[in-house]
């Protein structure tokens, strides 16, 4: 992974509830400082002189309390702990609530090349947004050849050999009102340890698709912005393969098959392709079935349980009638013996 610097942090394209709203107050020569961890630190203990277990490689967050304490330290002339803070070469300092650092603090930051950033967000809100952003930056990731679409709210990753019809199936799904996330190259990141987030590997190409015989088409221009989205959690994998008459395919679906990506197990279906099969409607049905599973309803297992109950009841009924016939025969035999 390439270096992630303070300048990269300022350049993150985050919108709405993810926006950090950061501006640089001073210390611009230090914008090339690298951010190596996704943890944050509020340096209250450090400012009081306690530097044991201090995290110098973390972004330092200054809320209202820390800013007020800075002013008190400088009013009392106790600036040695501030000098110790800048001696640690921290990546940057962020002042929340639009707080403005004192002039001596800014002068020390400028002299040591430490960037001072400011945001109008509250400390808790900014911290949660920054943790989400850094979690995404440092998340394990890999690029997979396939097509990612959102079908009925389920992120479906369509895999298969080149030319099997992945893009064509996705195009039909888009025509049916579903949304394209990425085609051909899908970058998948594992965030929060167990969530696979998929997006286009090359954002510059946007939401384009390559259709053999047509060439490159722009989904946004053809179907509108409602037919695309930037990223989506991967919740189901549908692998298309050419029909093999010698292979036995799953016909019941009682066994849950998964595929592991970046250590996360994702439900995996193999769908054979041959002329006459409507692959898009199969993918739609698979997505709806996956939603039912997430809601606690497993159609195949319920079918198995119903069959078992039917077999048990049929067996019990047969056993009952067999025992009843035997009882009648025994009764007739006893009566005949008494008459004789």
Residues involved in catalysis: 145, 166, 184, 251
d(CA 263, CA 193): 9
Neighbour-count burial for 282-312, b at 16+ CB within 10 Å, e otherwise: bbbebbebbbebeeeebeeeeeeeeeeeeee
Could you tell me whether strands 236-242 and 208-211 are parallel, antiparallel, or unpaired per DSSP bridges? unpaired
- Interatomic CA distance for residues 295 and 90, integer angstroms: 47
Gap between the Cα atoms of 315 and 310, Å rounded: 8
Residue 265 near residue 257, CB atoms below 8 Å = no
Q: If phi over 0 gives left and psi between -120 and 50 gives alpha, with beta otherwise, what is residue 162? A: beta
CB distance 266 to 196 below 8 Å: yes
Distance (Å, rounded) from C-alpha 272 to C-alpha 245?
Answer: 10
């Amino acid at each position: 992974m390439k270096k992630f610097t303070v300048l990269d942090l300022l350049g993150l394209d985050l919108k709405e509830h993810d926006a950090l709203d950061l501006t640089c107050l001073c210390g611009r020569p230090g914008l090339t400082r690298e951010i190596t961890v996704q943890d944050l630190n509020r340096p209250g203990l450090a400012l009081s002189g306690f530097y044991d277990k201090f995290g110098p490689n973390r972004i330092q967050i200054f809320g209202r309390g820390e800013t007020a304490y800075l002013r008190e330290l400088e009013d009392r002339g106790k600036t040695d702990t501030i000098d110790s803070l800048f001696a640690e070469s921290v990546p940057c300092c962020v002042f929340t609530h639009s707080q403005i650092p004192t002039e001596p603090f800014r002068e020390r930051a400028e002299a040591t090349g430490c960037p001072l950033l400011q945001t109008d967000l509250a400390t808790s809100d900014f911290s949660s947004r920054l943790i989400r952003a850094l979690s995404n930056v440092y998340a394990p990731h890999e690029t997979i050849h396939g097509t990612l679409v959102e079908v009925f709210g389920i992120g479906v990753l369509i895999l298969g050999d080149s030319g099997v019809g992945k893009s064509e199936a996705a195009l039909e799904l888009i025509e049916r009102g579903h949304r394209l996330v990425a085609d051909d190259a899908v970058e998948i990141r594992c965030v929060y340890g167990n969530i696979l987030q998929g997006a286009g590997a090359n954002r510059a190409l946007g939401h384009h698709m390559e259709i053999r015989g047509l060439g490159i088409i722009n989904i946004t221009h053809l179907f509108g912005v409602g037919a695309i989205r930037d990223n989506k959690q991967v919740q189901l994998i549908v692998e298309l393969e050419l029909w093999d008459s010698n292979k036995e395919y799953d016909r019941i679906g009682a066994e849950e098959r998964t595929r592991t990506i970046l250590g996360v197990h994702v439900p995996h279906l193999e769908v054979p392709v041959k002329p006459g099969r409507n692959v898009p409607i199969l993918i739609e049905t698979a997505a709806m079935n996956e939603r039912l599973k997430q809601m606690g309803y497993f159609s195949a297992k319920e079918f198995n349980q119903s069959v078992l109950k039917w077999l048990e009841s049929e067996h019990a009924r047969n056993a009952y009638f067999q025992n009843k016939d035997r009882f009648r025969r025994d009764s007739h035999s006893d009566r005949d013996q008494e008459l004789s």
